[in-house]
Structure 1
Amino acid sequence: MLTDVQIAVLGGDARQLEIIRKLTELDARLSLVGFEQLDHAFSGAVKEKLEDVQWESLDAVILPVPGTNPEGKIDSIFSNEVIYLHEELVKRTPEHCIYFSGISNPYLDKVMTESNRELIQLFDRDDVAIYNSIPTVEGTIMMAIQHTDFTIHGSNTIVLGLGRVGMSVARTFHHLGGKVSVGTRSSEDIARAVEMGLNGFSLEELKERVKHTDLLINTIPALVVRPEIIAHLPSHALIIDLASKPGGTDFRYAEKRGIKALLAPGLPGIVAPKTAGLILANVLAQLLKEKREEKKS
């Protein structure tokens, strides 16, 4: 249980509703900022304005998955108010107060460093990334079906990267009957792809490999789908880029060539916000319990 643990949840999107529900069930006391347009009420959670939060009493602050924008602004689909996370507010929290977000940025890193507060990026965790790969794969399948006039079964599909998301995408498209090849820089990943019954190849061969590709799915957060690669793609090919913004595709050149290219980071929160929220809620609850036990000892 998290009885008497004081948490501020700064909104946010639909994923945070599952976080709020989980933490109130565990008897935590929540201050909800940026949720005034949310009709649903949670027992143990109070909607407050940013300036009314008792920052000096907080044990944790939960930010939205994107954290803040580069200027510190927090976007919320449940509020029209402008919410900023200022360094002055962070410094008002106790030294043991932990901040959680999905990802970070230079602004957030700077504020946390100068305030000497701990920031935990949930998307850096293997468990969160692996769980999230499930709705990511489902969203990728949805996009492939919506934006093509051919079946996944029998299609020539290239997946770039064999990390936590790439492995799930490659395996699932293979099970759906796609002819899947995996491009990677790692010889170990090439061997793993072959072990999975896929075609593995080095990214250095990508220019030649894409000539007969129907689907090109990128998971690598670096510019790998460059103009010279796109120039060799068939005109009917679809690029789905799952890497974090700005992605790993030259979208300008893809548009110039008439190749449809879709940037689709954050698919779990789009296609399955309830599931994505439950994943984050369970991990957050476990981390908060662990931190509480550490504090007691």
Structure 2
Amino acid sequence: MALRNASSVKEFILLGLTQQPGLQLPLFFLFLGIYVVSMLGNLGLIVLIVLNPHLHTPMYYFLFNLSFIDLCYSSVITPRMLVGFVKQNIISHAECLTQLFFFAFFVIDECYILTAMAYDRYAAICKPLLYQVTMSHQVCLLMTMGVYVMGFAGALSHIVCMLRLTFCDGNIINHYVCDVLPLLKLSCTSTSINEMVVFIVVGVNVIVPSLTLFVSYTLILSNILSIHSAEGRSKAFSTCGSHVMAVSFFFGAAAFMYLKPSSASVDEEKLSTIFYTILGPMLNPFIYSIRNKDVHLALRKTLMKLRFS
């Protein structure tokens, strides 16, 4: 079937997180605060990694990319969400598909960058003598390219299939973001191809990272348990503890969203989406920096440079 964009509906209305008037202003300031903290946290981590040579390692290279993805991810979703708290959030058809593309692009990127970080921790703990070779600059670059290629391919698949749909009457999206499933509910043409693409894209981007994460951490755990000294085990656990927290939060929230019972309400769907689209990008910089001595050292050095400059 040839691609076409013959939609009679030229704009959509995003209902947002809630329609209760008494909650609009408090939620606006709450999510504005979350957005500011997310921006400052991720941008600050990016600056620290760039300015401090001792952070120029594979682990922090991937953390740099995670912060960049979270920075962009938040900017794609939260500003539009904030608009919905203060006025009717009208978005054009083109803007909606653009938001959908970048939303899908960055959420898939997040899946794979967390997976790449898990492989990095596996190489550091299970193959320490070969770490420099296993995680060479070329390997890290290829893995990062793979992350963004997978994100682009998945997002483009959704957009190409969405362009074939016609939206005849309904233009109210019961969500705070232009996501695939809420849009499919508004189509007056067959969505069977779109649903098949969603199944394939989501399946691939869940199975591949999940298997890689499972295998990596099974081998990591096996290796840690074979360490005889308690100090060695503690150091090994601390090396990957932050990443385990970030992975658990992101994939746990996403699983709750996509593996929920069919009886779940739309409000429950929107609430569960908040955890991995808005709260995750805010929490990641803190998860990776609160107990990280390298980041603390980098922060002190940077502040001293600013103080004496």
TM-score by length of 1: 0.26
Identify, as 1 or 2, the structure richer in helix: 2
- State the structure with bigger RCO (CA 8 A, min sep 6), 1 or 2: 2
Identify, as 1 or 2, the structure richer in strand: 1
